C-alpha cells in the first residue's frame, strides 16, 4: 500500500467507531478507493457507482489487488535484505579468515604475491635506469591499490608488459660464413645479390664481435622469394623471426600502440614482436611496405620513420609502454613490389636490394630442385613412377608461366601432379583398395562407433542425432594407396596440354620479317620484361595539298605520349639534317600504334624505338627483326638511362633477339648481368641516336634514302600553293 496514505488511514480508523463504519458503507468504499493506488478506470468506476453494494464490491476488488501488491513487495524486500545480509556476513567471515591465515603465515595476500612475482621477473631483466624507476613507481602504485579498483587491472597489465620485454636478453648469433651459405643455398636458388649482402653483414659482425641492426628492403616482382628469404636470413644468423604485414594498414596505433587511458589498450606490433621473440635482436620482417595506407587515424608510414632510422630507434617510444625501447639491435627486413609508392623519407632510411626475378634457366633449376619434388609428395605420388620431364618444364615456363617469380609455376606444377593422381586412381579402380580395407583399426573403430550412434539416433531422437553428427567429423585414419610399379606416367612437352589446357602465352615475336615502320622495343612490367613493338604506317598518299599529321593509339599514358611527340619531332629534325632532299615528313599523314591496346603503357624508355619506327617508314628501310632496343630520347638525340635492364634483356632473349641496344649510362648494369642471361646476345651501348641509326640501318644506301621513294611524282608546291595552304596547327 502506498506509504503516503498510511497516516490518513490511521486517522480515519481512529475517528470512526464500528457502528459508524457499518452505518455509512458508501463513505468507507469511497475512502478505500481514494487511498489505493489502483488503475484510474477502476477508481473512476467506484466513484461513479451510485449503488452502495456495487460500490462496496468494486472497492473490495481494488483493495484486494492493493493487498496482493503489498504482500509481494514485502516478500521482495525481505529476500533482498536476506541476500545482502548473507553476503555481508560471508564477506566479513572471509576477511576474518584471510586475516587469520595471514597472521599464521599460511597464505599471503593475492596482491602481495602478484607484487612479489613482478619483482622477481624484473630482477632477472637488465632494465635501463629510467625504465627501472618507472617500474618501481608502478609497482608501488599496484601495492597500494585495492583489487576492486579499475586502475588496478590497468596497472597490472602494464607491469605485465613491462616485465615481458626482453631487456638485455639476446640470442647467440652464428657468424659462420659456411653455415650461412649452406642455409641460404638450401632454401633459395640464385638471388646472389641478396646472399652476398647477408654474407657481408655476417663478415662485419665476425670482425667486430657484434652487429648493429640494419634496415634492408627487398624490392622485386611477386613470387621471387622476398618474404621467404627473410626467414632464411633469420635461420642463417640464428635470430628469432617475426613477420607482420602493413599492406592496407591505416592505423598508427598498430605500430606505436594505444594510450593506456583507452579500454583494452595494447602495445604496437614492434613491442609485441619483442615479447614473442624474447630477444632484443630478432629479425622483424615488415611485409608489403609499399602498400601501406593512410587514414583518419594517422599516417603509418610516418610512424615508421622513427622505427626504421638507425640514429633514432635506440630509444623507440611506444604509446602504451611510454618508456624508451632499444631497437638498435633488431634487423629489419622490408619487402615491396615497387618503390614508387614508398614515401621518399622512408625510402632514404632503407638499404634497397633489388630482386629482378628469375630467368628461364633459373626457373627450371628451381622447379627441378624444389617445386616438383614438393608438389609430387603433396599429391601422394612420392613413391610412384610419375615424371615431369625437363622439356615439359621448359614448355611450362615458356608457354604458361612467364612472370618473374615462381609462384604461378608452383601452382601449375601442383596442378600437373594432381591431374596425374586423378588419372592413376581412375585407371586402378576401386578394387585395388576397397573402402573396407582402406581403414586402419582406429578408422574401423570410429566407423563402428558412428554406426552405433546413428542407430541410437533413429531410436533416441534428436540428442542422439546431434551426437552422431559430431562423430561424423572424427578423423578416420586410412591406409594410403600404394601405386604399383607397373604404373608409369610421363608428362612431356607433347602431352602437357592434356593437364594444363592450351598455352596461355605465344611467341613474343610478332614479325619474322619486319616491314618498314616496325621496330621492336623492350618494356618492363610487374611480371618482368616484355617485347614491345612500335608500328608506324602512312595513312594517305602523299600529295602537295596533304597536311602532315601524327595519330597515336595503343592506350598510352601521358609520359609515353610526350615521348612519342619528342620522337616525332626528333625524326623530322634528323631527316632534315641527314636526308635534306627527303621531304617525307612534310606531307606524311602518319599513324603510330603500340600493340596490345588493352594494356595501359607509360614511361619514356621507348623513345629511340619510336624514332626508329618513324625513320624506318620514312626511309622505306625495314629493321632487322632480331634487333631490340630501349632508351629515352631527347630532342637533341641524346639517349638517356633507363631501368629494368635485366628484365628487358631476358625478354629480348625470349623473343629470339640477337642484338640489344641500350643507353651507355646503363653499361655498368649490363656488365653486372650474369653470363647466362647475356648468352647469345650482343649488347651495344649508345649515347646518341646517331649510333642507334648506324646499328639499325648498317646497309642503308644514303644516296637513295635521300630521295623519298614515296615522294616520287609529288611535285614541290609552288610559292602560291604554299601560301594558300592552311597553316599547320601548333
403-435 pLDDT tens trace: 778 889 999 999 999 999 888 888 887 666 666
Known binding-site residues equal 220-227
User: How far, in Å, CA of 399 to CA of 453, rounded?
Assistant: 54
Residue 617 pLDDT greater than 90, yes or no? yes
**In Å, what is the CA distance from 397 to each residue of 528, 660, 674?**
13, 23, 20
pLDDT confidence of residue 623: 94
User: How far, in Å, CA of 210 to CA of 524, rounded?
Assistant: 41
pLDDT confidence of residue 709: 59
Residue 148 pLDDT greater than 70, yes or no? yes
β-pairing, 518-525 vs 528-538, is antiparallel
User: How far, in Å, CA of 98 to CA of 109, rounded?
Assistant: 8
pLDDT confidence of residue 467: 45
Mean pLDDT of 122-149: 86
Q: Which CATH architecture has domain 177-354?
A: 3-Layer(aba) Sandwich (3.40)
Q: Select the CATH number that applies to the domain covering 518-723 from these four: 3.90.1260.10, 3.30.230.10, 3.40.720.10, 3.30.420.40.
A: 3.30.230.10
Longest dimension (CA), the chain: 149
CB 680 within 8 A of CB 705: no
Q: What is the DSSP string of 626-674?
A: TEEE--EE-TT-BEEP-S-HHHHHHHHHHTT-SEEEEEGGGHHHHHHS-
Of the pLDDT bands very low, low, confident and very high (cuts 50, 70, 90), residue 726 is very low
User: How far, in Å, CA of 712 to CA of 615, rounded?
Assistant: 17
Q: Of the given ranges (333-342, 470-479, 584-593, 695-704), which has the lowest mean pLDDT?
A: 470-479
Q: Of the given ranges (23-32, 95-104, 553-562, 574-583), which has the lowest mean pLDDT?
A: 23-32
648 is catalytic: yes
Known binding-site residues for ATP equal 220-227
Residue 352, SS3 per DSSP: strand
Listed by start position, the domains of the chain span: 3-78, 110-164, 177-354, 434-480, 518-723
Of the pLDDT bands very low, low, confident and very high (cuts 50, 70, 90), residue 729 is very low
Q: Which of 648, 664, 668, 720 is catalytic?
A: 648
β-pairing, 528-538 vs 589-593, is antiparallel
Q: What are phi and psi of 478, to 5 degrees?
A: -125, 155
Of the pLDDT bands very low, low, confident and very high (cuts 50, 70, 90), residue 521 is very high
436-459 pLDDT tens trace: 666 666 666 666 677 777 766 655
> Which residues fall within 8 angstroms of residue 76, CB to CB, at 6 or more apart?
none
**Mean pLDDT value across the chain:** 83
pLDDT confidence of residue 13: 61
User: How far, in Å, CA of 649 to CA of 630, rounded?
Assistant: 10
Q: Which of 301, 605, 613, 616 is catalytic?
A: 605
Nearest alpha-carbon partner for 690 in 612, 630, 620, 614: 612
Nearest alpha-carbon partner for 641 in 650, 649, 630, 651: 630
Written in H, E and C, the secondary structure of 251-263 is: CCHHHHCCCCCCC
Mean pLDDT of 505-513: 77
> What's the first-to-final CA gap in the chain, in angstroms?
100
Mean pLDDT of 381-402: 87
pLDDT confidence of residue 712: 56
| Domains 177-354 and 518-723 in one fold | no
Mean pLDDT of 179-195: 86
622-638 pLDDT tens trace: 999 999 999 999 999 99
605 is catalytic: yes
Amino acid at each position: 500500500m502506498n506509504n503516503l496514505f498510511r497516516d490518513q488511514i490511521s486517522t480515519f480508523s481512529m475517528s470512526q467507531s464500528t457502528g459508524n463504519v457499518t452505518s455509512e458503507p458508501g463513505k468507507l468504499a469511497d475512502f478505500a478507493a481514494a487511498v489505493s493506488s489502483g488503475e484510474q478506470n477502476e477508481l473512476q468506476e467506484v466513484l461513479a457507482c451510485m449503488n452502495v453494494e456495487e460500490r462496496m464490491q468494486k472497492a473490495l476488488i481494488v483493495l484486494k489487488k492493493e493487498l496482493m501488491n503489498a504482500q509481494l513487495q514485502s516478500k521482495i524486500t525481505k529476500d533482498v535484505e536476506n541476500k545482502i545480509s548473507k553476503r555481508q556476513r560471508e564477506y566479513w567471515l572471509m576477511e576474518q579468515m584471510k586475516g587469520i591465515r595471514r597472521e599464521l603465515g599460511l597464505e599471503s595476500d593475492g596482491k602481495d604475491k602478484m607484487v612479489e612475482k613482478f619483482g622477481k621477473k624484473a630482477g632477472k631483466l637488465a632494465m635501463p635506469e629510467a625504465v627501472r624507476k618507472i617500474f618501481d613507481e608502478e609497482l608501488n602504485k599496484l601495492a597500494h591499490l585495492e583489487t576492486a579498483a579499475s586502475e588496478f587491472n590497468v596497472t597490472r597489465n602494464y607491469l605485465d608488459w613491462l616485465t615481458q620485454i626482453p631487456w638485455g636478453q639476446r640470442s647467440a648469433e652464428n657468424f659462420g660464413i659456411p653455415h650461412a651459405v649452406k642455409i641460404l643455398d638450401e632454401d633459395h636458388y640464385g638471388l646472389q645479390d641478396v646472399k652476398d649482402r647477408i654474407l657481408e653483414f655476417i663478415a662485419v659482425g665476425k670482425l667486430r664481435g657484434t652487429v648493429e641492426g640494419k634496415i634492408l628492403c627487398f624490392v622485386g616482382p611477386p613470387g621471387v622469394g622476398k618474404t621467404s628469404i627473410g626467414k632464411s636470413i633469420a635461420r642463417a644468423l640464428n635470430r628469432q623471426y617475426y613477420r607482420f604485414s602493413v599492406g592496407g594498414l591505416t592505423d598508427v596505433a598498430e605500430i606505436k600502440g594505444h594510450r593506456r587511458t583507452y579500454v583494452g589498450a595494447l602495445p604496437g606490433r614492434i613491442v609485441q614482436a619483442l615479447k614473442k621473440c624474447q630477444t632484443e635482436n630478432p629479425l622483424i620482417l615488415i611485409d608489403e611496405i609499399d602498400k601501406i595506407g593512410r587514414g583518419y587515424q594517422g599516417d603509418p608510414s610516418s610512424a615508421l620513420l622513427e622505427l626504421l632510422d638507425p640514429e633514432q630507434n635506440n630509444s623507440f617510444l611506444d604509446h602504451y609502454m611510454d618508456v624508451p625501447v632499444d631497437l638498435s639491435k633488431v634487423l629489419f627486413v622490408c619487402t615491396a613490389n615497387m618503390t614508387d609508392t614508398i614515401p621518399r623519407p622512408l625510402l632514404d632510411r632503407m638499404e634497397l636490394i633489388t630482386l629482378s626475378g628469375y630467368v628461364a634457366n633459373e626457373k627450371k633449376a628451381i622447379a627441378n630442385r624444389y617445386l616438383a619434388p614438393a608438389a609430387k609428395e603433396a599429391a601422394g605420388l612420392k613413391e610412384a613412377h610419375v615424371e615431369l620431364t625437363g622439356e615439359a618444364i621448359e614448355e611450362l615456363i615458356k608457354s604458361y608461366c612467364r612472370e618473374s617469380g615462381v609462384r604461378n609455376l608452383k601452382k601449375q606444377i601442383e596442378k600437373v601432379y594432381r591431374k596425374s593422381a586423378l588419372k592413376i586412381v581412375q585407371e586402378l579402380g576401386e578394387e585395388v583398395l576397397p573402402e573396407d580395407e582402406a581403414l586402419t583399426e582406429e578408422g574401423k573403430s570410429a566407423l563402428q562407433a558412428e554406426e552405433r550412434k546413428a542407430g541410437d539416433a533413429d531410436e533416441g531422437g534428436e540428442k542422439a542425432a546431434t551426437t552422431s553428427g559430431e562423430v561424423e567429423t572424427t578423423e578416420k585414419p586410412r591406409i594410403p594407396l600404394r601405386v604399383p610399379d607397373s604404373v608409369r606416367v610421363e608428362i612431356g612437352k607433347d602431352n602437357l596440354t592434356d593437364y594444363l589446357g592450351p598455352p596461355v602465352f605465344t611467341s613474343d615475336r610478332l614479325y619474322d620479317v619486319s616491314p618498314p615502320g616496325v621496330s621492336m622495343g623492350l618494356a618492363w612490367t610487374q611480371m618482368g620484361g616484355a617485347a614491345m613493338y612500335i608500328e608506324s604506317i602512312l595513312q594517305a598518299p602523299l600529295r602537295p595539298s596533304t597536311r602532315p599529321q601524327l595519330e597515336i593509339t595503343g592506350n598510352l599514358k601521358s609520359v609515353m605520349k610526350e615521348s612519342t611527340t619528342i620522337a616525332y619531332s626528333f625524326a623530322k629534325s634528323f631527316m632534315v639534317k641527314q636526308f635534306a632532299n627527303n621531304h617525307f615528313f612534310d606531307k606524311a599523314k602518319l599513324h603510330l600504334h603500340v600493340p596490345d591496346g588493352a594494356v595501359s603503357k607509360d614511361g619514356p624508355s621507348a623513345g629511340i624505338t619510336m624514332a626508329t619506327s618513324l625513320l624506318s617508314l620514312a626511309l622505306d628501310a625495314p629493321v632487322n627483326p632480331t634487333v631490340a632496343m630501349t632508351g629515352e630520347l631527347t630532342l637533341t638525340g641524346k639517349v638517356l638511362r633507363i631501368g629494368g635492364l635485366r628484365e628487358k634483356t631476358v625478354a629480348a632473349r625470349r623473343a629470339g633477339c640477337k642484338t640489344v641496344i641500350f643507353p651507355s649510362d646503363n653499361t655498368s648494369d649490363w656488365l653486372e648481368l650474369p653470363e647466362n642471361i647475356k648468352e647469345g646476345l650482343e649488347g651495344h651501348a649508345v649515347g646518341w641516336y646517331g649510333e642507334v641509326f648506324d646499328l639499325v640501318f648498317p646497309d642503308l644506301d644514303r644516296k637513295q634514302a635521300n630521295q623519298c621513294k614515296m615522294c616520287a611524282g609529288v611535285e614541290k608546291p609552288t610559292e602560291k600553293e604554299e601560301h594558300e595552304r592552311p597553316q599547320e596547327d601548333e
